[in-house]
Structure 1
Amino acid sequence: MNDKATTTAEDDTPHRDDPADDPATGQSLPLSGPPDERLPLIFQNQDRLAHVDDPIHRDVSALAVSGRTLFATCDETASIERLVFDADKGAFTDHVSFPLGAIFDLPDGVDGEMDIEGLEIADGWLWICGSHSLKRDGPDGEGLAGLDDIDWDPNRAFLGRLPLLDRGDGVFEPVALVEPVGGERREAAALKMNDKGGPMRRRLEDDPLLGPFMSLPCKENGFDIEGFAAHGETVWIGLRGPVIGSHAIIIELQLKEKKSKGRRLKPQKIDGRRYRLYGIDLDGQAIRDLRFREGVLYLLSGATTDLEAMQSVYRIEQWPPETDIVPAHKVERVLDLPVLRGSDHAEGLCFFRRQEGWDMLIAYDSPDDDRIDDDNCMVEVDVYPMPSAGK
C-alpha cells in the first residue's frame, strides 16, 4: 500500500474514512482515503508488439469492462489493449493488442498517436474517442522560443466504435464485423477524418462558448476530451478543458451510421444543432472520465492543468438533466481520492463486477512507483466499492 496515504494517529495502518452524515446538511459525506485493494494489469512487453514503442503499463489512459474483459488504452499508441480477469491470480492478464489502423483508415497512419482518452462499452459496442486536442512542445534547450510550437496530431480526431464478439465465459473481442446467423449485422464505423481534423473540431470552432478555446493546447484550458459515456446512439463527451466559469463541460452527440458512405458516423441534429452542451458545477475541477450506468452519470474529476489538485468521483442521479446547467447541489461527491505530488493523477474510471458485487476501478496517469513493476510490465489500479445511493 502506498506509504504516502493517510494514516491513523494510533498506528501506520492506512484506512478509509467511513461514510458519515454532515451535521449541517444531513447528507452523506464522501468516502476518502486509500482503496480497499489494488488489482494488477499485466501487459506484454512493448518489444513484442510491432506497433507499440512505449511501455503500455506506464501510460494507461482509459478503462472499460464487460464481463471478465477489460479494455485499456495507452495514450501514446493507436491501439486497444484487451486483458482478461483471472480470479485465481487476482489480476487482469492474457494481454492482446488490437491496432486500430488494421480496421480504420487513420490520417496519420497506424503508428500516429491517437491520444485515446475515452472508452465505453454500450449495447455490444466498444466506443473509442481521441482527445481532439492540440499540444505544446517543450523548450528542448531552445529557451522560451521553443514553447511557441503547438502541434496537431490528426489521429487525435478519432471517434468511432467496434462491435464486440462474444467469445464466451465473459471474454469479448473487438472486431471489424459481426454478422451472426439471423442476427444484426454490425460493422466498425467512425467519424470522417482527414489530416486537418474531424467534424467535431470544425463545428466547435464557431461555437460562441467553446470557440475561443479551440486554438489553445491541452492542459492550458484548451479543448481537450478526457471522458466518454454512451447509451444507444447517444454519446456524452467530458472535457478536461475548457473549464468555463467553474463549470466543466459535457458535449452530447447523437450519432447515426451512414452505410452509404463507408460506414461513417454522422452527428444528428438536436434542437436544430449538431450537438448540445451542458455545464456541470464542479467548483473549478475538470472532467477526467465519465461513466453512465443505470440512468446515473458518474464523473471522475481532476485539474485542467498539470497542477496538483483535488480529484474526486461525482454522481448526477438524473441524466440527461432537464437544463443545460447542473448546479452544485445537483452533483453528489461520493469519493475523494488521495493526492500525491507528481504522481497518481486520476485518469480512468470503470465498474467491475465480481461475486462480492460491483466495484469502481480507477487508473492513474503518472502512476506512482509503488504501483509499477517494469520487469513484469504491470501496473495496479485502485479498487473502491460502488457508492450507495445518496440520501
Structure 2
Amino acid sequence: MSERNNAALLKFDPASGPLRDGLSVAQQIGDTLWVANDETTNLERLKIQDAAPGEGVTCNEHQSFPLMDYLDLPITKQDAEVDIEGLAYDDSGYLWVVGSHSLKRKKAEADRPAQKNIQRLSAVEADGNRFLLARIPVVQQNDGFTLARKVDADGRSAAQLNGSKVGNDLTAEIAEDDQLRHFLSIPGKDNGFDIEGLVVIGSRLLLGLRGPVLRGWAVLLEIEPELDDGSTDTLILKKIGPGGRRYRKHFFALNGLGVRDLCTSGDDLLIMAGPTMELDGPVTVFRWHGGFVPKEESVVFADQMEAVLEVPFGQGNDHAEGMCLFESGTQPGEVLLILYDAAAQSRKHGDADVEGDLFILK
C-alpha cells in the first residue's frame, strides 16, 4: 500500500447527523471542498483552511445544501437518499451530480430469524432519487462559493435529466443495449448497473461504472447532456454514439476491478478502481496518460495505463469512495485527496470529524 503524505481533517456540524460514516464524493472549488454522504439528499460544503507547510489540512465551516432546494426530486421525503456517487465542476460554473442509478437489495440482519433474512435478501427495489443526473449553478458570494437554482446575471439555471421513480432517459437508452441491459435489473452490489464516478471533459461527461465488470473489463459511459429545446431545467442526451445512440462505451482493463471514482489531472484521466461487490480492497488509482479525447468508442488495455497509487483499505472499513485533486497552498507536488466510506475508528475525532488521506501522485 502507498503511505499517505498527510491528512485532511473534515469537521462537520454534529447537528447534521453522522455524515462522516458514508462519504462518497469529493470536489474542490476554490477554497471550498464539496462532499456528500450517499445516504442523504444533501451536498456538504467545507472551507479549506491554510496550514503550515508539511502539516495536515483542516476543512471546516460546514454548511449543508439540500438538493431539493435546487432540483425536482421524484421522492421528496427527507430520508429518501440520492445515493450520490459522482460530483464534478466545469468551467462554465456548474456543479454536476449523479446518483448511482442502481437497484438495491435489502440486507440480512443478525437479530432476525433465518427465513426473515431470506425474504429480505429476496427484496429488490428501485429508489427514484438514485436516477439523478443534474447540474447546479455555482456562484461566489461573500461567504465563498454557494449554489443557486437560477442566476439572473448570466442566465444559468439548475437542470436535470428527465426521470421518474423507476428510471430516467439514460436507463431507457441502456435498456436497448445488448451488453448492458440485463444488468439494469440486478442490484448494484451484485455486479449490477451502478454508476460511481463522474468527470467533465469539455461538453461531455464520463460516467464510471462500478458494475457491471464484463470478463474483467470495467465500463465508462460517455454522454453529452444539453438543454431540451425551449427548456431551462430539462436536459436531454445528444446522439453521439454509433447508430445514433445517445452514449458511447469505453472499456478499461483494471485488473478485474470496477470504477469507484474519476477525476482529471491536466490532460490525464485518473481512475480509482475497486471491488464491484462488498469486499475489502484492493483499490488502485490508474492514470491514463494523454487524457480522454472523445471521438469514438475505445478499448484500453492495461499496458496503456499506469498504476500510480495503491490505496489502503481496512477489514470491514476504510473503503475508498471519493477522490479529487487537492490544492491547499502548502502541499508539495500534485496531491490527491481520498475519502472513505465506513471510516475506521482511528480516522474519527470527536462527535463528527473524520480524516481523509492526502497522497502525492507520481
Q: TM-score, normalised by structure 2?
A: 0.91
Rounded Cα–Cα distance in structure 1 between residues aligned with 2:254 and 2:131: 26
Note the C-alpha offset of 1:385: 1.1
| 2:356 is equivalent to residue 381 of structure 1 | yes
Gaps of 5+ in 2: none
Answering whether residue 271 of structure 2 is matched by residue 318 of structure 1, we say: no
SS at match of 1:260: coil
Aligned to 2:40: 77
| Separation of aligned partners in 2, 1:236 and 1:339 | 26
Distance 1:139 1:355 in 2: 46
1:266 to 220, 236, 242: 236
Is 1:192 the equivalent of 2:167? no
Q: Aligned AA for 1:260?
A: G
| Kept after mapping to 2: 8 A contact 1:41/1:378 | yes
- What residue is the counterpart of 1:372 in the other structure? 348
CA-CA distance at 1:143 after TM superposition: 3.3
1:113 aligns with 2:81: yes
- Look up the match of 2:6: 37
Q: Judging changes above 3 Å, is the alpha-carbon distance between structure 1 residues 273 and 323 closer, same or farther for their aligned structure 2 residues?
A: closer
Q: Distance in 1 between matches of 2:236 and 2:174?
A: 15
Q: Does the residue aligned with 1:214 lie in a helix, a strand or coil?
A: helix
Q: Equivalent of 1:176, from 140, 146, 149?
A: 149
- Structure 1 pair 379/237, CA: closer, same or farther in 2 (3 Å)? same
Q: Secondary structure at the match of 2:189?
A: coil
Partners in 2 of 1:343 and 1:57 — Cα distance? 12
Once the two structures are overlaid, the 10-residue window that deviates more, 337-346 or 111-120, is: 337-346
Equivalent position SS for 2:85: strand
Which amino acid is the alignment partner of residue 57 of structure 2?
A: G
Runs of 4+ in 1 over 3 A off after TM superposition: none
**How many matched pairs?**
345
User: TM-score scaled by structure 1?
Assistant: 0.84
Q: What is the Cα deviation at residue 102 of structure 1?
A: 1.3
- Which of residues 235, 253, 256 is equivalent to 1:284? 256
Matched, 1:293 2:265: yes
One-letter amino acid of the structure 1 residue matched with residue 358 of structure 2: V
**What per-residue deviation string (whole Å, max 9, x for no partner) do you get for residues 274-323 of structure 1?**
00000000010111000023221101111001112311111111332665
2:129 pairs, out of 155, 180, 184, with 155
Q: 1:248 to 1:107 in 2, by over 3 A?
A: same
Show structure 1 runs of 5+ residues with no match: 1-31
- Describe the superposition over 1:2-37 as per-residue Cα deviations: whole angstroms up to 9, x where unpaired: xxxxxxxxxxxxxxxxxxxxxxxxxxxxxx422011
- Of residues 119, 122, 126, the one that matches 2:90 is 122
Q: Percent identity?
A: 34
Question: Larger RCO: Structure 1 or Structure 2 (Cα < 8 Å, ≥ 6 residues apart)?
Answer: 2
Distance 2:132 2:282 in 1: 29
Deviations 1:36-55 (A, max 9, x none): 1111111112xx35xxxx41
Coordinate RMSD, CA, aligned: 1.7
Q: What is the letter of the counterpart of residue 104 of structure 1?
A: L
Comparing 268-277 and 356-365, the one that deviates more: 356-365
Give SS of 2:260's match: strand
